[in-house]
Amino acid sequence: MSIRTLVDTVEHTEALSVPARARTIPHVLSIAGTDPTGGAGLQADLKSIGAQGGYGMAVVTSLVAQNTRGVRSVHTPPSTFLDEQLQAVSDDVTIDAVKIGMLGDAETIRTVRRWLPRSTGAVIVLDPVMVATSGDRLLASDAEDELRALVPLADLVTPNLPELAVLLGEPVATGWEAAVEQGKRLAASTGTSVLVKGGHLEGALECPDALVDASGDAGTVSVVGGTRIDTRNTHGTGCSLSAALATVQTRTGNWHQSLLIVKKWLRGALERADELNVGQGNGPIHHFHEFVPGPIPAPPPEERPFSEQVWELTTSHRLAIETLGFVRALGDGSLPPEQFAYYLAQDAMYLRGYSRVLSRASALAPSEAEQLFWAKSALSCLEVESELHRTWLTGRGQSPAQGRVTRAYVDHLLAASANAGYAVLVAAVLPCYWLYAHVGNALHSQWIGNGAGTDHPYANWLETYADPAFAEATARAISIADSCFAAAPPADREAMIEAFEASAWYEHEFFDAPTRLDLRDSAKLP
Ligand SMILES: Nc1ncnc2c1ncn2[C@@H]1O[C@H](COP(=O)(O)OP(=O)(O)OP(=O)(O)O)[C@@H](O)[C@H]1O
Ligand SMILES: Cc1ncc(COP(=O)(O)O)c(N)n1
């Protein structure tokens, strides 16, 4: 056996030779026992595999009731079930690496041994777990021979000092040199590379590991040194090291390089272990210390569509309109004719102003389609206005003067068309479509529900509410407002909501004005 000792520090991790067949995300299977506190066993393995960029899989050998203070009990499912788990994985998944941890008893070891050929081509790392940090046994004493027989089937075995001694049937090495010599003897007798771990070196300031390579230049010993980190949180260090090594080895194909990479990571995991604050005893290491979570993203701006927001915001106006004396009386036919006439006259005056405002929306529209929509709407306003005069207002005496609600509402819209941008103007004109359509629908349905009697004094008027073209135009106006809102900066969004709300308020007032017939309005009635 040629002996060449390479002493490296964990910083020398550059210039890796990556095997050509390496899978980008290696599939790594851990066969081990469990630790419900997540620091050792399968749970630690999966974290370590993930931290090294692998895809972790797990087959349970034993369920261990343990925590950072010790092991309470162990439940080992029948070996037939272990075999079923193993077959289930290998029947389906190509395995790039296997890490074997706690096996517990001889039957479990035999079952894994029988299955191992199913993972041909995979990197096999055996961590010969025997005793937990807490001192509790995790391998039946009569299973040691069986475990020894498993070593030659692995590519790498990673015993701590007491385990190394058991595998050789020798006393525990008292110093580092003696431990490395034991490692060489084990590598020579089994043909398996051995990682001699220095974590259990009594009173040492250093925490070295020695890799005895049984392949290629057989017997090469490379030592990776490192200072001992002062922490009691070392639970699961051996599990994590072996699982990480199995993962990284699929990429480097070189145990020494793999060890350099993994030791550097492990060092950080031990240095940051105290941050985790898990348990009262020997806590776990920080597997994901290299992962820096990004800042919690600020909550996204209000994503609900404009129409949904303003519809909810103006619920009280809507309910108030629905229950107005004017609306109810129009619905049941009891509305005094002069109030109806007043309403129609105000409506005609309103439409004249509204049409100008819609023309302004057409002028500001960013697309031809929207320009056309508003222009057509402006035109139909003028048509409805002249129709009102022709059909409804003729013969009802002299028209009343413009009421103050009508004037204020139109002024509000004209102000928006003069001062605001397109989005805010669209928001300001929308309630006229939407609330009118809403009230009209309610009145029309009520009339239909009551038998659509032609003896209703306003039957002809109620019929006009069912105009599908108006419903379509309303839907289009809503959708334009939603798109404007989605694209608008926060200040414009606020202004859109305010403009809509103000117009909704005027709609309410407008429907109420004919009934109130306050002194100024009634004075101007015919
Ligand atoms: N305090 C420490 N500071 C730095 N490295 C450490 C420390 N303790 C252990 N290590 C390293 O952790 C790895 C595991 O070593 P150790 O000898 O403790 O194995 P183990 O006994 O199998 O682990 P476990 O604690 O999981 O039983 C080795 O690489 C070792 O060098
Ligand atoms: C299932 C299982 N496997 C391995 C260990 C060894 O880890 P440690 O020696 O750090 O307790 C453990 N405690 N539990």
pLDDT digits over 440-457, tens only?
Answer: 888 888 888 888 877 888
What's the mean pLDDT in 120-146?
93
At 237, is the pLDDT very low, low, confident or very high (cuts 50, 70, 90)? very high
Interface predicted TM-score of the whole assembly (ipTM), two decimals = 0.97
pLDDT tens-place string over residues 56-92 = 999 999 999 999 999 999 999 999 999 999 999 999 9
Ligand 2 neighbour 220 (Cβ under 6 A): no
Rounded to the nearest angstrom, the distance between the alpha carbon of 48 and the centre of ligand 2 is 14
pLDDT at res. 86? 98
pLDDT tens-place string over residues 169-193 = 999 998 999 999 999 999 999 999 9
Question: Whose C-alpha lies nearest to ligand 2, atom 7?
Answer: 236
pLDDT greater at residue 328 or residue 4: 328
Least confident span in 2-6, 76-80, 223-227, 344-348: 2-6
pLDDT of 7 over the 60 cut = no
pLDDT of 218 over the 80 cut = no
Residue 342 is classified by DSSP as H
Mark whether 237 is an active-site residue.
yes
pLDDT tens-place string over residues 254-288 = 999 999 999 999 999 999 999 999 999 999 999 99
Rounded to the nearest angstrom, the distance between the alpha carbon of 28 and the centre of ligand 1 is 22
Least confident span in 49-63, 478-492, 510-524: 510-524
The domains found in the chain, sorted by start residue, are: 5-10+24-275 (3.40.1190.20), 306-523 (1.20.910.10)
Rounded to the nearest angstrom, the distance between the alpha carbon of 31 and the centre of ligand 2 is 13
pLDDT of 14 over the 50 cut = no
Mean per-residue pLDDT over the chain, rounded: 90
Tell me the sheet residues that pair with 211.
Answer: 195, 222
pLDDT at res. 22? 61
Ligand nearest to the CA of 43: 2
Q: Distance between terminal CA atoms of the chain?
A: 121
pLDDT of 520 over the 50 cut = no
pLDDT tens-place string over residues 365-414 = 999 999 999 999 999 988 888 887 777 777 766 677 888 999 999 999 99
pLDDT of 15 over the 70 cut = no
CA–CA distance, 463 with 445 (Å, rounded to integer): 10
CA dihedral 255→257→260→264, nearest 10 degrees, is -110
119 in Cβ contact with 125 (< 8 Å):
no
Which residues form ligand 1's pocket by a CB distance below 6 Å?
133, 160, 197-200, 207, 209, 226, 228-229, 234, 236-239, 241, 266, 270
Ligand 2 neighbour 133 (Cβ under 6 A): yes
Q: Is the pTM of this model over 0.80?
A: no
pLDDT at res. 397? 67
Mark whether 236 is an active-site residue.
yes
41 in Cβ contact with 236 (< 8 Å):
yes
Active-site residue identified among 54, 104, 226, 236: 236
Nearest by Cα to 431 from 363, 357, 371: 357
Ligand 2 neighbour 197 (Cβ under 6 A): no
**SS3 state at 516:** helix
pLDDT of 526 over the 60 cut = no
Give percent above pLDDT 90 in the chain.
Answer: 69
Nearest by Cα to 377 from 417, 433, 428, 421: 433
Rounded to the nearest angstrom, the distance between the alpha carbon of 265 and the centre of ligand 1 is 13
CA–CA distance, 188 with 3 (Å, rounded to integer): 12
67 in Cβ contact with 36 (< 8 Å):
yes
Tell me the sheet residues that pair with 56.
Answer: 28
Ligand 2 neighbour 129 (Cβ under 6 A): yes
Helix (H) or strand (E) holding 428: helix 422-449
At 9, is the pLDDT very low, low, confident or very high (cuts 50, 70, 90)? very low
Ligand 2 neighbour 130 (Cβ under 6 A): no
Ligand nearest to the CA of 199: 1
pLDDT of 95 over the 90 cut = yes
Active-site residue identified among 34, 237, 247, 474: 237
pLDDT at res. 203? 75
pLDDT of 518 over the 90 cut = no
CA–CA distance, 245 with 259 (Å, rounded to integer): 7
Active-site residue identified among 239, 381, 432, 484: 239
User: What is the token pair recorded at 419?
Assistant: 């001062």
423 in Cβ contact with 492 (< 8 Å):
yes
What's the mean pLDDT in 196-214?
89
* β-strands 55-60, 123-126 pairing: unpaired
pLDDT of 225 over the 50 cut = yes
At 522, is the pLDDT very low, low, confident or very high (cuts 50, 70, 90)? very low
67 in Cβ contact with 281 (< 8 Å):
yes
Rounded to the nearest angstrom, the distance between the alpha carbon of 198 and the centre of ligand 1 is 7
pLDDT tens-place string over residues 19-59 = 535 679 999 999 999 999 999 999 999 999 999 999 999 99
Nearest by Cα to 282 from 137, 134, 163, 162: 134
- Interior angle at CA 277, CA 271 and CA 281, nearest 5: 95
pLDDT at res. 181? 96
5 in Cβ contact with 223 (< 8 Å):
yes
pLDDT at res. 6? 39
At 517, is the pLDDT very low, low, confident or very high (cuts 50, 70, 90)? low
Active-site residue identified among 238, 283, 331, 440: 238
Tell me the sheet residues that pair with 6.
Answer: 222
